[in-house]
Amino acid sequence: MKTTVLEKFLKYIQVDTMSKPEQETIPSTEKQKNLARILADELKAIGASDVRADEHAYVYGTIPATTDKKVPVLGLIAHMDTSPAYSGENVNPRFVKNYDGKTIIMNEKTGLSMGPEQYPDLLNYVGQDLITTDGTTLLGADDKAGIAEIMALAQYLLEHPEIPHGTVKIGFTPDEEVGRGPDLFDIKGFGADVAYTVDGGALGELEYENFNAASCKVMVHGLSIHPGSSKGKMKNAILMAMELHNMLPVFDNPMYTEEYEGFFHLDNISGCVESAVMDYIIRDHDMDKFLDKKAYMERAAQYMNQKYGEGTIELIMKDTYFNMKEIIQEHMYLIDIARSAMEELNIEPVIIPIRGGTDGATLSHKGLPCPNLCTGGHNFHGKFEYISVQSMERTTELLLTIVKKFEEI
């Protein structure tokens, strides 16, 4: 499994699967279908059953049970797309063998480097083998590491039918990064009773709480006129956008928050005097605080409309996903099994709230309880993304141990 997971990971990150927000179609980018076809073909080649890749780039497969014992059908899910925040095209991974704890030169031409001064977690990997980017793209460990770990497990189980286990369902989704991964996921056809997403960070992370999330598009309608004759007439949409943004609580900002603290995040802004658009994401673990944040944004818009005229500010606010905690609390044996598997492998369980979301959040609310497991990666969605080869290998062992423990239920 050790060689297999690395080979698969390096293969998958070569396929550009960056998703695109604000698209009506699923997948949001046709290129995600390229990886879907590769994965479906690979599942068929290793002997998985019921393999299909549908027209929306969802991939499904089955590892048949090798025991007559009745156990819950377990699903393992990862997403194929990479974040639109940074390019995932022409990924050129850099290998750091036996990391020495010092600064890593990621790109000799540009001088880009990464060291423990900025990223202290690097010191946890002294003596291990790291894969980084060359600084021109993200790496794609989110979530192609999860895919590689699931696929390595699938191949191992199919090559070792002597291992007793129940039915394992495999699922890969498009468009997780733009919040639409679960939208067309065929839960009934998937056929799992419960599942895990393999979409987390450092080895040992185990998560069953996540943000409640909404997107908010703020459209500002101004009035452009020659600045030489604009007194009492011009309405500068850029300035009004800045004014609205400055009404939001300063410290409810991702750069100042951690753990259970929520935020307003201005993700994109564009415009001119005549019109401006701001794209926000709104997050909070606590539902009441989440609703308060949405109401705050609406009050800010109302104030601006009262000040500058009705219709100056338009909001399009849409809920994206909700905290899975209330669902998983009814199925805590999923957490107990994963924690027990980690302890058996001498992996320290780190049970933390997700400061984001996974496909599992929405799938849980749709009837498929689905907490989240680690992949081993760090610094997702940017050029400083990296992953430990040994963490990928250990995560694959973790998945195998979980599968075995389900047979013991």
**CATH of residue 42:** 3.40.630.10
What's the pLDDT score for residue 2? 67
Q: What span, in angstroms and rounded, lies between the C-alpha atoms of 221 and 276?
A: 7
What's the pLDDT score for residue 88? 97
Q: What span, in angstroms and rounded, lies between the C-alpha atoms of 383 and 401?
A: 33
User: What CATH number should be reported for the domain holding residue 229?
Assistant: 3.30.70.360
What's the pLDDT score for residue 408? 87
- Residue ranges for the chain with pLDDT beneath 50: none
pTM given for the model: 0.91
Are 222 and 110 members of one domain? no
Boundary of a domain, candidates 320, 339, 373? 320
Are 250 and 396 members of one domain? no
What's the pLDDT score for residue 190? 98
What is the enclosing helix (H) or strand (E) of 49?
strand 49-53
Domain count, the chain: 2
Q: Residue 267 corresponds to which tokens in the numbers above? A: 């993700």
Are 158 and 237 members of one domain? no
Are 230 and 310 members of one domain? yes
Are 62 and 117 members of one domain? yes
Are 153 and 239 members of one domain? no
- Fill in the amino acid letter for 345: L
Residue 362: phi, psi to the nearest 5? -70, -40
Are 52 and 104 members of one domain? yes
What's the pLDDT score for residue 409? 83
Active-site hit among 81, 209, 385, 393: 81
Q: What span, in angstroms and rounded, lies between the C-alpha atoms of 397 and 153?
A: 8
Q: What span, in angstroms and rounded, lies between the C-alpha atoms of 131 and 112?
A: 15
Q: Residue 201 corresponds to which tokens in the numbers above? A: 């960070």
Are 206 and 291 members of one domain? no
Contact indicator for 81, 178 with CB cutoff of 8 Å: yes
Q: What span, in angstroms and rounded, lies between the C-alpha atoms of 282 and 404?
A: 39
Q: What span, in angstroms and rounded, lies between the C-alpha atoms of 378 and 367?
A: 30
3-state secondary structure of 237: helix
Range of the domain at 288: 212-320
Residue 124: phi, psi to the nearest 5? -75, -10
The answer to whether 176 is a known catalytic residue is: yes
The answer to whether 81 is a known catalytic residue is: yes
Active-site hit among 176, 207, 209, 393: 176
Round to the nearest angstrom and report the end-to-end CA distance of the chain.
25
Contact indicator for 234, 224 with CB cutoff of 8 Å: yes
Are 203 and 222 members of one domain? no
